[in-house]
Amino acid sequence: MLALAIPIAFALMSLALLLNLWRVVRGPDLPDRILALDTLYINSIALLVLFGIHLDTMIYFEVALLIAMMGFVGTVAVAKYLLRGDIIE
């Protein structure tokens, strides 16, 4: 079952990455791009976890964890920049 599910999931995640890229490049506005970046973070997490399941290892888990955290901070910071310009005030 897993042998079938994993390739399909990989294909879907790759497609998602490409669509994210499309949105980042096309925009049209900055909030669109920021949202696309945030989704890209989430898709990467999914991809990494999937990779871990595929290779049956836990070693990629921390990277996924860190992307989750860093992605959040990054999105917050850019959003704050849009609002106020000054991210630390």
Partner 1 sequence: MTLSLIIFLPLLGALLPPLFIRLGRTACAWSAALLAGTALAILLYHSPAVFAGETLVFTQPWLPALGLNFSLRLDGLGLLFALLILGIGLLIILYARYYLSEHDPMGRFYGMLLLFMAAMLGIVLSENLLLLLVFWELTSLSSFLLIGYWKHRSDARQGARMALAITGGGGLAMLAGILLLGHITGSYELSVVLASAELIQAHALYPVTLALILLGAFTKSAQFPFHFWLPHAMAAPTPVSAYLHSATMVKAGVFLLARLFPALSGTELWFFLVAGTGTATLLLGAYHALFKHDLKGLLAYSTVSHLGLITLLFGIGTPLAAVAGVFHIINHATFKASLFMAAGIIDHETGTRDMRRLGGLWRFMPHTATLAMVAAASMAGVPLFNGFLSKEMFFAETLHAGWMGEWSWLLPLLATLAALFSVAYSVRFIHDVFFGTGPRDITRKPHEPPRYMKVPVEVLVALCLLVGILPAWTVAPLLAAAAASTVGAELPYYSLAIWHGFNLPLLMSLIALAGGVILYLLRFRLFALHDRIFPLCDAKAWFECGLARTIAVSHQLTAWLENGSLQRYAMLLVASVLIVIGTSLWGTTLTGPVAMGTVDGVTLTGALVLGVSALATVIWHRRRLAALVLLSVVGLVVSVAFVRFSAPDLALTQLSVEMVTILLLMLALYFLPQHSPAESSTARRWRDGLLAAGAGLSVAALAWGVLTRPLETISGYFLEQSKPGGGGSNVVNVILVDFRGFDTLGEITVLAIAAFGIYALLQGLRLPSPTTDGEGRPWAEDRHPLILSAVSRPLLPLALMVSLYILLRGHNLPGGGFIAGLVTAVALILQYVASGVVWTRERLPFDYIKLTASGVLVATLTGVASWWFAHPFLTSTFEYVQLPLLGKFELASAMVFDVGVYLTVVGSTLLILANLGKLTLVSQPHEETK
Q: Which residues bind partner 1 (CB under 8 A)?
A: 10-11, 13-14, 17-18, 20-21, 24-25, 27, 30, 33-34, 37, 40-41, 44, 47-48, 51, 59-60, 62-63, 65-67, 69-74, 76-78, 80-89
C-alpha span between 72 and 5 (Å, rounded): 29
C-alpha span between 56 and 46 (Å, rounded): 15
C-alpha span between 40 and 15 (Å, rounded): 11
Minimal distance, residue 42 CB to partner 1, in Å:
11
Minimal distance, residue 72 CB to partner 1, in Å:
7
